[in-house]
Structure 1
């Protein structure tokens, strides 16, 4: 039974001295491609081999869009209450505290103003890490206030959506945000102030049913899931098999709901080209 015995002594490291690979050093894309986290960051959080756009949040988008990552955050300390005293398996107030502690965010959207290619730009960006990017009263209020700031200062407004839809713990209060944000965006339209909507993975539910599809120009990142109900719900409701690529950004663009799809590395250039075009400024 000699083959069960070690015949030569190799490197023998005591168990207590072994080192694990630090978490976050590598990233594995859904197609199995492995990329070093630092390389991923330098490539705009896009896997270089398969072009997979990794989900990112407001911190990363602000860094991509604002010159030298300089911006002023708007309504920074606005937080949700619990008007319905919602209780399920866990109290809503406890969920909020847990999400705030885990993410370092106050709620599922951050809004800011800064320079992008030398021009003022107001950006509202959703964070999926905060209760699935769900849209509660604070999310709607911050988006409405950001649009109001853009209206007052005659500054282009950009919305980056990443959401599972309405926040069930706020029920009707959540649904009211669809009307509120849509009304404020209508005021931007009346004032001829550009509104750019960027749909990222995923953009679903009440977000899609309101501000995400109301842009003067609607754009997306490659491969993003965009729809109202999820594919499984649609399939079970209709009783039919769905076409290949259903609700992907490419499918949605083919059916006329998107103007174009932008690779993340070109996002800043493409957004500013559109702003220059609509405002009849010199293209950079």
Structure 2
């Protein structure tokens, strides 16, 4: 019998690439997204079923779970992929913006996990994979709340691995670096202010550095899909899987040199240049 994976946020980027990769490798895929009516390509693939699921709406999660459980006798893996980044100085990020980011990246992930756990307990086996980020281990300026959500996902998943081991259920983390998806477009929101302008030189400096880096700094989403497939099939108790050369280098740099050296390096790279 073919194995089945459930994927949230499967309409674009990592989620979409992963749905296609698992389907190509003979898995059944339950690809979930907020607006399945806009999806055309995945609907045409024989072993991919598309479902409506909004991770911020428990009713939507429950309906998707009921439909998927009805269509598939067994669910082998859940990939919590849905997420986005709020970009900008913390001070000008509104409480509503911050809460929404946590609702998607943390609480939505937890709600989906809680909904599928009884199925895994009943089966006495299952795998939960949560998309974190190298941003769950290291930090960059101007995405403080995004880093906060990913640090939360790291801690949550590591504790899940403890709690679920005796039940035959595994929990794993995927830590991508910069990926060539629409993350900088549809999946990235910006906090801005016409009143507080003190941060503008810092933001402009950061944006200029990002644009100067160009496309070579990004890995393709298929790179992450391959790592996710390895995590799902290697049969090990490994918890963390890094995806992308930049993530490997930066996480390694912090581990080898220590926190203070990493922060000092980041300050030197991203400090506002004095034009005085």
TM-score by length of 2: 0.35
- Higher relative contact order (CA closer than 8 Å, sequence separation 6+): 2
Larger radius of gyration: 1
Structure richer in helix, relative to its length: 2
